[in-house]
Structure 1
Amino acid sequence: MSRTDEVVDGIKRMILDGTLGPGDRLPVEKDLAESLGVSRGSLREGVRALSILGVVDTRQGDGTYVTSLDPQRLLAPMGFVVDLQGESSALSFHAVRRVLETEAAALAAARITPGALAEARRVLDGVDDVLAATPVDHERFIEADIAFHRVVAEQAGNPVLAALVESLASRTVRERLWRGLHEDGAEQRTHDEHEAIWRALADRDPERARIRMANHLLGVEESLRGGTAIGDVPDGDA
């Protein structure tokens, strides 16, 4: 184990055993280096690594603090990893996203708040204006896509699930997916599928929400593979 790894492991142990908690200030550099048995240079390297991971936050002139340690912050680096993957890995990551978001939709249907449902409705209503424009503003369409799926994931009531979905469905990933969708009417079909998901959420129907989300995301996969999109199946909720 390198000295930097020893620092990372040592500070992690301090957090796990309760010596340090969210929001706590780390001991001064000299004392912390001595307690961990490392040089101050190695300590700085370890702290930098933990900062990248979202575990600590160094404030100029004030010291280094443990962050809130919330899942979204700690899992954010995974989004960077996903963004760096090439086109050959897009389907693999999307398949994982599909599994997670399908379950998130079912969970959300059972617990979504009226406010969140109204927020999702506002997002979808705004898409009507986007689709009416010629040409379609893909930037606005992607923003709406992100907003709608974020509402669903957040309403699942599981912050870890929501953070994973956020990491796997970043703006970079969505832009990459849309570059791979070449068939006419992809935007309208996506909007129709979002509407079907929203109706299932509004009806508090977990199984239908699960099916509609799976239908939607499987359609994206099929489109990327160059086949007939599953999302072209008529919407039985209409």
Structure 2
Amino acid sequence: MPKKSATQQISRVSRPRLYEQLVEQLMEFIESAQLGPGDTLPAERDLAERLGVSRATLAQALVALEVLGVIDVQHGTGAVLVYRPNVPSVLKGLREHRSRLPEIVEARSTLEVKLAELAAARRTEADMKAIDKALDAMAEEVASGAKGAHGDEQFHQAVTTAAHSAVLAQLMTFIAGMILETRLESLGQPGRPEQSLASHRKIAEAIRAQDPTAAAAAMLEHITLVSDVALLK
């Protein structure tokens, strides 16, 4: 039986994902620039030029670092370094985050669709006012150029409250930290804040109309939308 060549015997090494390569470059930049906690990274346009990537690609890497708590991205301020970990620990955290995302989406699809259905059946006028207030808050954020994360969180909390289900509310509290990961990831996609806000309005209208079936369908459609993130592609 003929022996395999050395080339054939070498197992194929998977190419690191682009965002992982970019995260490594970002960490190397932070190290070379001697940035420490509290220091602000250069503006996205300048940073993208220095690293030789598009702003859209850079934005995805920054979102990943924000999810891990390495940086804090604030509208009007930019990306502020929270702490400076080593590259292996950051890449390990990113891979764990990526593998966790599908299960978080699965949990949201189960819990939040039911919560929307119950909210449509049980909501009070006070609940509706809270939902509308959350929509207004997100609209203001998005109009200012921000991601709308606070308004987004407020909206989902208002829907949960309107469902008047203590046990489901406790389960939502339990996974709140994991949902925050998906929220930051999703709202970092180009055009997503506006799409998410429109999706929220559709859910709110179904709850206002006290139509449980439409509310559940609108929430499922919303979860499907916000689950479409670059990290899983």
Q: Which amino acid aligns with 1:201?
A: I
Aligned with residue 142 of structure 2, among 128, 131, 144: 131
> Per the alignment, do residues 89 and 226 of structure 1 end up closer, same or farther by CA in structure 2, a change over 3 Å counting?
closer
- Larger Rg computed on CA atoms: 1
Q: Which amino acid aligns with 1:222?
A: D
Match of 1:204 in 2: 210
Residue 178 (1) aligns with residue 184 (2): yes
RMSD: 2.1
Match of 1:80 in 2: none
Give the deviation of 1:226 after TM superposition: 5.3
Work out the CA distance in 1 between the residues paired with 2:105 and 2:209.
Answer: 27
TM-score using structure 1 length: 0.53
> Per the alignment, do residues 198 and 226 of structure 1 end up closer, same or farther by CA in structure 2, a change over 3 Å counting?
same
Work out the CA distance in 2 between the residues paired with 1:166 and 1:224.
Answer: 26
Match of 2:162 in 1: 155
Residue 95 (1) aligns with residue 106 (2): yes
**Are the counterparts in 2 of residues 105 and 210 from structure 1 also a CA contact under 8 Å?**
yes
> Per the alignment, do residues 199 and 218 of structure 1 end up closer, same or farther by CA in structure 2, a change over 3 Å counting?
same
Give the deviation of 1:183 after TM superposition: 3.5
Give the deviation of 1:145 after TM superposition: 1.3
**Are the counterparts in 2 of residues 123 and 147 from structure 1 also a CA contact under 8 Å?**
yes
Give the deviation of 1:159 after TM superposition: 0.6
Match of 2:195 in 1: 189
> Per the alignment, do residues 210 and 180 of structure 1 end up closer, same or farther by CA in structure 2, a change over 3 Å counting?
closer
> Per the alignment, do residues 159 and 86 of structure 1 end up closer, same or farther by CA in structure 2, a change over 3 Å counting?
same
**Are the counterparts in 1 of residues 117 and 215 from structure 2 also a CA contact under 8 Å?**
yes
Q: Which runs of 5+ in 1 are unaligned?
A: 1-84, 228-238
Deviations 1:3-56 (A, max 9, x none): xxxxxxxxxxxxxxxxxxxxxxxxxxxxxxxxxxxxxxxxxxxxxxxxxxxxxx
Aligned with residue 226 of structure 2, among 205, 213, 220: 220
Give the deviation of 1:179 after TM superposition: 2.9
Give the deviation of 1:173 after TM superposition: 3.4
Deviations 1:117-166 (A, max 9, x none): 011101111222211113x1x4xx22211111111112222111011122
Aligned with residue 125 of structure 2, among 100, 111, 114: 114
**Are the counterparts in 2 of residues 181 and 223 from structure 1 also a CA contact under 8 Å?**
no
Q: Which amino acid aligns with 1:150?
A: Q
Give the deviation of 1:177 after TM superposition: 4.0
Work out the CA distance in 2 between the residues paired with 1:181 and 1:108.
Answer: 24
Aligned with residue 167 of structure 1, among 150, 170, 174: 174
> Per the alignment, do residues 129 and 197 of structure 1 end up closer, same or farther by CA in structure 2, a change over 3 Å counting?
same
Work out the CA distance in 1 between the residues paired with 2:121 and 2:186.
Answer: 33
Give the deviation of 1:213 after TM superposition: 0.3
Q: Which amino acid aligns with 2:208?
A: A
> Per the alignment, do residues 197 and 108 of structure 1 end up closer, same or farther by CA in structure 2, a change over 3 Å counting?
same
Q: Which amino acid aligns with 1:96?
A: A
Q: Which runs of 5+ in 2 are unaligned?
A: 1-95
Aligned-residue identity in percent? 26
Work out the CA distance in 2 between the residues paired with 1:182 and 1:125.
Answer: 20
Q: Which amino acid aligns with 1:197?
A: I
Aligned residues: 138
Deviations 1:204-227 (A, max 9, x none): 000000000000001122335657
Work out the CA distance in 1 between the residues paired with 2:108 and 2:179.
Answer: 11
